[in-house]
Amino acid sequence: MNEQELILTSVLQCRRVDLYTGTVEVTADQKQQLDDICSRRSSREPAQYILRTCEFMGLDLYVDQRVLIPRPETELLVEAAATFLQKAGKPLSVLDIGTGSGNIIVSLAKNFSQHHFLALDISKEALEVARQNARTHDVFSRITFLEDDIFSDTCIRKIPLCDIVISNPPYIPSGDIADLQPEVLQEPHGALDGGEDGLRFYRRIAQFTKHALSRNGFLFLEVGQGQAKDVQDILEQTGHLVVQGCLNDYSHIERVVIAQRI
């Protein structure tokens, strides 16, 4: 659905097709809600924050200003990990670094009941949202939520060895933040800012996997436009990771880098 359809179906509590059949009646309260939403959108507040919902991998997720709004491109990251999990002949453990709303880990847990999942985030507020989404979709008991900072050495000691590490880390260069669209600037800056060159988190995750990723385990990373080659170089330079491939999104942008621990 486009944004207008999303707003209308949410407020009118109807299906998309109902918008075009002429059978939906708008009450005075609903008209007021729509006017309020239009006013907030005119100030460039994201529709997902206004409606408190975002669709991701077929799931309706709760979102607010505490978390980054899940992007459609990240579904490719989830699909890449899902392809690997489908072939697994035994239960595996999956670590999501920077879980945010929980969109990645909840989507995977919803589809793979035999595996165990860990969700790591530095933000207590983000983890509250992730837990809410996990409860809503009945996967809370299979996800371990961890509040910690991957740049802390103590964090490394707390994380058990996992078979899969997956992450959509902050990757926008610090100097580019101010030029982002007004809607994006209302999202948590900590979930956007990837450091001076946008690669700060990839360097740390590459080091982190030496302790958190089991041998022969796989790493799945979403990357920003034009970053795939630099990220692959970072992973290869560790000596313990071997790049297995890179997947393009629907705009033919290199979006997901896959590596294996040796």
**44 is written with which tokens?**
């460039």
Q: What is the pLDDT of residue 156?
A: 86
Distance from C-alpha of 47 to C-alpha of 36, rounded to nearest angstrom = 12
Q: In which element (H, E) is residue 119 found?
A: strand 116-121
Q: Is 185 in contact with 233 (CB distance < 8 Å)? A: no
**138 is written with which tokens?**
């009945």
Coil vs helix vs strand at 185: helix
Distance from C-alpha of 166 to C-alpha of 104, rounded to nearest angstrom = 8
Q: What is the pLDDT of residue 25?
A: 87
Distance from C-alpha of 38 to C-alpha of 42, rounded to nearest angstrom = 6
Q: What is the pLDDT of residue 158?
A: 87
Long-range contacts of 190-198 (CB under 8 A, 24+ apart): 190/122, 190/123, 191/67, 191/68, 191/98, 191/100, 191/126, 192/68, 194/169, 194/170, 194/224, 195/170, 197/173, 197/230, 198/171, 198/172, 198/173, 198/224, 198/227
Q: What is the pLDDT of residue 216?
A: 96
Q: Which CATH superfamily is domain 67-261 in?
A: Vaccinia Virus protein VP39 (3.40.50.150)
Helices (H) and strands (E) in the chain, counts: 10, 9
Q: Which amino acid is at 129?
A: V
Biggest alpha carbon distance in the chain?
A: 64
Distance from C-alpha of 255 to C-alpha of 201, rounded to nearest angstrom = 16
What does the buried/exposed string (b/e) look like for 13-27 if buried means 16 or more CB atoms within 10 Å of the residue's CB? eeeeeebeeeeeeee
Q: Domain ranges for the chain, please list them.
A: 3-43, 67-261
Q: What is the mean pLDDT of each run of 10 residues along the chain (262 residues)?
A: 88 90 88 94 95 96 98 97 94 98 98 96 98 98 97 90 98 97 96 98 97 96 98 98 97 97 97
* Pairing mode, strands 93-97 and 162-167: parallel
Phi, psi angle pair for 248, to nearest 5° = -90, 145
Can you give the pTM of this predicted structure? 0.94
- DSSP letter (8 states) at residue 71: P
